[in-house]
């Protein structure tokens, strides 16, 4: 697929500055520094939820973890592909002192090699600890035993006393799927259902709804008339969703799964609050949890069509952009879907690898290269990264004497080098030259660069 570049940036620089960059002493260069690219997302997630136990001084802290297939190294063993991982979890209290912890080592087996590299496939599992009331920090380390790669995640959380009242609320577990129990017990079984967690707490259009599981505890002998109040606020404190449900508490544990339609929310961060109240509205117990809604392509097309078009500049032909600009509002999502179908390198598979790669690079560029005045994908570094991907090698010169900070990006397989200078000391590195032994600008094909 030919991909003409829309941007033709005129590159100008004084010959002396180019010479200084190309001949800078290696003694001051940070050779091989790839600090900018350490922002790649960890290929695993963790989450927690707290529930009452028979021990009245402690709660059952459920620790959910999700590991993406492409975050592990698999070796072929017989007819299977096998990964071996170890997950260590430590709970820190005041002054970062370790209070408790646990560890598991597991083998993960797949029958299909393609599944081992699929960034959308994953495993979900769970471990549990008992902790008391307080504020904590969870530190999780994932060790790939086949590659010795270590990834870590930290999460702060708070545990309330679930035994203050005879009627109380548990913590909130965000839910991916609710299944009926079968004859084989599972760690995810709760009552008559099997509750599979959404570990990342990030929702997108592929989910369709926001779901959560929680428990209500009632130890009094007499039934109790009560209400459940739900409210969700966005990061500006505005109410995005409200609901009110009446119920009769007549057993020790009442289990609830609540669903909220995803189309109620714009992309962003939210706080969910569930309040268990008397029938007159007087609060008894409250649980809170945060979640986010991803800025998906569909949401982008619906909410900012101009930006959605602009972001195609590195992959679409001019005539394709012109046609998309003329599409009526009610047909835009279908038009974008058809555009990416036309540019799917493997139309017979569920994934569109080019689309995933392209928007994955835009997302990374926004995280790695954004400045005060520009989103990362609009910067020169973002442009080069989106088209070419991760450099083979970066030469970083942040503290040269009598020289502004600069970087050289090397793509050895392409025989290309790109130079960037931070002209104003703001972290916005501007492209100075694409040097490949000849001359010229950025090539016109993205699908050949990886």
Per-residue model confidence (pLDDT) at position 304: 84
E strand or H helix at 394, and its extent?
A: strand 393-397
Per-residue model confidence (pLDDT) at position 375: 87
Per-residue model confidence (pLDDT) at position 94: 86
Which tokens in the block code for residue 124? 């979900």
E-strand ranges in 160-303 read: 167-169, 173-180, 189-190, 193-197, 202-203, 209-218, 224-234, 239-249, 253-261, 268-278, 283-293
Rounded percentage of the chain residues whose pLDDT exceeds 70: 86
Evaluate whether 369 touches 381 at the Cβ level (below 8 Å). yes
Per-residue model confidence (pLDDT) at position 340: 94
Supply the pTM of this predicted model.
Answer: 0.68
Calculate mean pLDDT across residues 132-154. 94
| CATH fold of the domain at 42-160 | Immunoglobulin-like (2.60.40)
Per-residue CA distances from 115 to 68, 71, 76, 81 (Å): 10, 12, 13, 9
Per-residue CA distances from 32 to 29, 400, 434 (Å): 9, 16, 19
Calculate mean pLDDT across residues 227-236. 93
**Distance in angstroms (rounded) separating the CA atoms of residues 206 and 54:** 38
Residue 249 half-sphere exposure toward CB, CA atoms < 13 A: 28
Domain 165-294 CATH (choose: 2.60.40.3880, 1.10.3720.10, 2.160.10.10, 3.10.450.40): 2.60.40.3880
Query: For residue range 295-339, what is the model confidence (pLDDT) as tens digits?
Result: 778 878 887 899 999 999 999 988 999 999 999 999 999 999 999
Calculate mean pLDDT across residues 8-13. 34
Query: For residue range 32-52, what is the model confidence (pLDDT) as tens digits?
Result: 333 445 444 568 999 999 999
Distance, CA of 166 to chain centre: 38
Query: For residue range 153-192, what is the model confidence (pLDDT) as tens digits?
Result: 999 999 987 777 789 999 999 999 999 998 899 999 999 9
Calculate mean pLDDT across residues 97-113. 95
**Model confidence at 448, in pLDDT bands (50, 70, 90)?**
very low
Q: Where in the chain is the domain with CATH 2.60.40.3880?
A: 165-294
Q: Where in the chain is the domain with CATH 2.60.40.10?
A: 42-160
């Amino acid at each position: 697929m030919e991909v003409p570049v829309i941007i033709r940036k005129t590159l100008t620089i004084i010959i002396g500055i180019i010479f200084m960059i190309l001949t800078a002493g290696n003694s001051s260069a940070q050779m091989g520094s790839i600090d900018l690219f350490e922002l790649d997302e960890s290929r695993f997630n963790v989450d927690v939820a707290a529930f009452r136990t028979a021990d009245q001084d402690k709660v059952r802290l459920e620790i959910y973890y999700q590991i993406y297939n492409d975050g592990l190294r698999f070796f072929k063993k017989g007819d299977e592909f096998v990964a071996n991982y170890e997950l260590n979890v430590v709970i820190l209290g005041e002054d970062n002192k370790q209070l408790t912890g646990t560890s598991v080592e597991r083998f993960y087996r797949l029958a299909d090699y393609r599944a081992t590299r699929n960034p959308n496939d994953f495993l979900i599992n769970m471990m549990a600890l008992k902790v008391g009331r307080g504020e904590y920090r969870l530190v999780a380390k994932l060790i790939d035993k086949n590659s010795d790669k270590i990834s870590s995640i930290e999460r702060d959380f708070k545990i309330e006393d679930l035994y203050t009242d005879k009627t109380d609320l548990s913590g909130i577990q965000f839910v991916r799927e609710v299944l009926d129990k079968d004859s084989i017990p599972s760690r995810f079984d709760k009552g008559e259902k099997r509750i599979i967690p959404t570990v990342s707490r990030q929702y997108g259009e592929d989910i369709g709804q926001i779901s959560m599981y929680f428990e209500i505890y009632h130890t009094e002998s007499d039934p109790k008339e009560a209400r459940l109040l739900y409210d969700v606020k966005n990061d500006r404190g505005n109410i995005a969703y409200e609901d009110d449900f009446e119920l009769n508490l007549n057993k020790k544990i009442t289990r609830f799964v609540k669903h909220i339609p995803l189309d109620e929310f714009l992309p962003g961060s939210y706080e969910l609050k569930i309040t268990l109240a008397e029938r007159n509205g007087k609060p008894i117990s409250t649980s809170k949890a945060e979640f986010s809604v991803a800025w998906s392509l569909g949401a982008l097309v619906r909410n900012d069509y101009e930006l959605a078009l602009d972001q195609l500049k590195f992959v679409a032909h001019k005539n394709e952009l012109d046609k998309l600009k003329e599409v009526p509002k009610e047909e835009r999502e279908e038009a974008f879907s058809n555009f990416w179908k036309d540019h799917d390198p493997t139309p017979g598979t569920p994934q569109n690898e080019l689309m995933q790669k392209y928007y994955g690079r835009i997302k990374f560029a926004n995280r790695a290269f954004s400045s005060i005045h520009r989103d990362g994908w609009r910067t020169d570094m973002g442009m080069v990264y989106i088209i070419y991907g991760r450099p083979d090698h970066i030469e970083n010169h942040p503290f040269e004497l009598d020289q502004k900070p600069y970087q050289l990006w090397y793509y050895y397989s392409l025989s290309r080098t790109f130079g960037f200078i931070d002209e104003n000391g703001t972290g916005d590195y501007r492209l100075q030259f694409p040097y490949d032994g000849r001359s010229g600008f950025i090539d016109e094909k993205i699908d050949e660069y990886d």
